[in-house]
Structure 1
Amino acid sequence: MTLVSSSVMADTEEITTAQAPFDDHNCDIILRSSNGVDFHVFKLILALVSPVFKDMFTLPQSESQSDVSSVPVVTVAESSTTLESLLLLCYPATTPTFDGLDDAKAVMEAARKYDMQAALSRAGDITMAQFLPNHFLELYALSCRFGWEHHAQTAATQALTIKNLGRPSNKFDGMRDINALDHHRLLEYHYKCGVAAQAVGSSLSWLGFSSRQMQLWRHCSCRSGTDAMIVQADFGNIKVAPWFYEYLVSSGKELLAKPCNSTLWELASYNRAITKATECIYCRSTVVENMDRFRVLYIAQVKKVVATVRLEASD
């Protein structure tokens, strides 16, 4: 940052004034962006949010002034878009909206450059709220980069929707912002969640006593034959039909690869189980109602166990 004469800048480019609230001519300092936009601001606000600016204001100032007043001009390397968002984060009752993730990253870098910790934290919160649904891997990388463990956990949980995370096809732009250890933490978290989710279907001991009356456990020909399988439940070992056991196994494999609730809403394993159940005269009349009821309980338990798995803290 340097103090420069506005007349020198005017020789090379047209100087414009930023929009409100950065157009106040009662200001005592002007920040000029790299593309020639003047932001009329106040030293007190900048000094409160940035030790860098606070230190700079204690240094002797030159006589350089703007054209409109005796207010000093400080040129900065940031564009007007980045500078506006950064200052909105610092001013009371103002909040920026980022045009894209790259814009948000530029603001974060500027906040770190000027040691604006509160602004940096706000930028992280806003970026997570605005971009999480479609950019969770990039946001995981950014969260690790800036030490935001709570945001890293949120983004890592969203990443559970990726099937077989860790294959080469899962390369993402944010990898440029992440180190190998943080990437390993994400992959390990995804795998542990998959193991926990898969285990839900291998034992039904989590089912409450009220589930004992479900038609899925009632006696019928496909549950009493030699192909029937034994599964542990809270109310004792139960015999289940081969089609139901196959559903537990196949859905468990899917959960291992993609350990999130949406996996159990996918229809491949579910429809296959329904189709095979209709081959039993007894099961065909009750299978849809009972499988829908079981799947709701299944999803709730998967959500519960996955929530107990935490992203390993960074060193």
Structure 2
Amino acid sequence: MSTFSAAGSDKSEETVTKADSSTTIDIVVAQPPFHDVEETDLILRSSDQIHFYVSKAIMSFASPVFADMASLPEGDKLNIQERIDHRPCVPVLDHSEELYQLLSWVDPRGVPSLELDDMKKALRLADKYGMNNTVCRIGVVLEALDNLMKKDCITVYAIAVQCGFTSLIEKAAHHSLNIAVQDIPNVPEFTNITGTAVQNFYTYRLACNRAAQTFISSGAWTQDQYLRAFSVSIPTCCAAEGRATRFGTMHLQLMRWFAVYIHDIQEAVAERPVPATVRDPASHRDTLVTMAACNKCRNHIPTFLSFIEFVATGIENAIANIKISSTYM
């Protein structure tokens, strides 16, 4: 019988004896915790010849593929005639790096990695082996990782489409609005989804862009408190000449600096139709500087700051009811 002494995180070579012969062979044991022979009765050998010690019951419960394999009479099983240390050894076509990530989600001894690349590896094999519960579990965790979502929302969108994570599709698409359309990365995962799914993504973005712009251009914000503060009807000051501006059916004579701000914010939300675009200090810094330089306009700075929040909330409401299509074929 062989002796196993793998320790730490390094792969270790072990000398073992096949149960059906006297041949001594060297094997490489997987990283912990899949090196431990206690409470395990099955070995999975990866394509790069790494041996993972797992529980047949756990693998059968997680995957119909392994369940079918376990239910066959011993003599009928394919590819598991080889035995190492009295355990069946099943060769699989998966690389040890991917297999390790999958087993980390399946086996209670494992600690799953929350790195996106590692989760992608686990998802690919979970789908391959019909591990639907594992796929769903990864999806739930992925949706909860806000920082990862903000950083990699385009990749997450493609993954969500592949796996059918409906709520994650919505969330990833919504996060993508924080990226200007010309800055959207060309992620390789887009090649794994249908053209319809890609079109749905850009159609959703276009609808949100139009909704945000329409809110501003329609003049829905033209409440009395703002018109009193930003129209040229106030006593003469630095920008009394104003600028004629049309909003829907209204023609307004606005303070020049305010008309410039409205024009600039319309262009900004055409690229990033989210409240954060309006709340970004860089979007109104120049306007505040101009207002502060005028003895009369500076009195309206509190009203202008209130206006910014009003517009941000309006944009949020305008895009809230826009949903991305769930048709992907």
Q: How many correspondences in the alignment? A: 302
- Pairing partner for 2:73 from 48, 51, 60: 60
Deviations 1:182-240 (A, max 9, x none): 1111111111111111122224436788x5798446833369767455768xxx99764
Deviations 1:273-298 (A, max 9, x none): 33444565421x22433322221222
Tell me if the contact between 2:44 and 2:91 (Cα under 8 Å) persists in the aligned partners.
yes
- Pairing partner for 1:161 from 174, 178, 202: 178
Displacement after TM superposition at 1:6 (Å): 7.1
Which position in structure 2 is the counterpart of 1:241? 255
| Amino acid paired to 1:32 | R
Which position in structure 2 is the counterpart of 1:282? 296
Deviations 1:40-64 (A, max 9, x none): 2222222222111111112232584
Change (3 A) 1:100 1:143: closer
Which position in structure 1 is the counterpart of 2:164? 147
| Distance of 2:262 and 2:325 partners within structure 1 | 29
Change (3 A) 1:172 1:26: closer
Identify the range of structure 1 (221-230 vs 126-135) with the bigger mean alpha-carbon deviation: 221-230
- Pairing partner for 1:137 from 145, 154, 159: 154
Identify the range of structure 1 (70-79 vs 16-25) with the bigger mean alpha-carbon deviation: 16-25
Structure 2 unpaired stretches of 5+: 1-15
Change (3 A) 1:93 1:207: farther
TM score, norm. by length of structure 2: 0.77
| Distance of 1:6 and 1:183 partners within structure 2 | 53
Which position in structure 2 is the counterpart of 1:77? 93
| Amino acid paired to 1:220 | P
SS of the counterpart of 2:74? coil
In the alignment, does 2:59 pair up with 1:50? Answer: no
TM score, norm. by length of structure 1: 0.80
Which position in structure 1 is the counterpart of 2:269? 255
Tell me if the contact between 1:33 and 1:76 (Cα under 8 Å) persists in the aligned partners.
yes
SS of the counterpart of 1:96? coil
Which position in structure 2 is the counterpart of 1:300? 313
Displacement after TM superposition at 1:247 (Å): 1.5
Structure 1 unpaired stretches of 5+: none
In the alignment, does 2:104 pair up with 1:91? Answer: no
| Amino acid paired to 2:190 | M
SS of the counterpart of 1:73? strand
- What do you get for the CA RMSD once the two structures are aligned? 3.5
In the alignment, does 2:189 pair up with 1:174? Answer: yes
Change (3 A) 1:220 1:173: farther
Displacement after TM superposition at 1:11 (Å): 7.3
| Distance of 2:222 and 2:56 partners within structure 1 | 63
Displacement after TM superposition at 1:78 (Å): 2.1
Which position in structure 1 is the counterpart of 2:210? 195
Which position in structure 1 is the counterpart of 2:323? 310
Identify the range of structure 1 (20-29 vs 151-160) with the bigger mean alpha-carbon deviation: 20-29
Displacement after TM superposition at 1:113 (Å): 1.0
Tell me if the contact between 2:101 and 2:121 (Cα under 8 Å) persists in the aligned partners.
no
Alignment of 1:18-33 (within 5 A): 18-20=31-33, 23-33=36-46
Change (3 A) 1:76 1:199: same
Identify the range of structure 1 (74-83 vs 267-276) with the bigger mean alpha-carbon deviation: 267-276
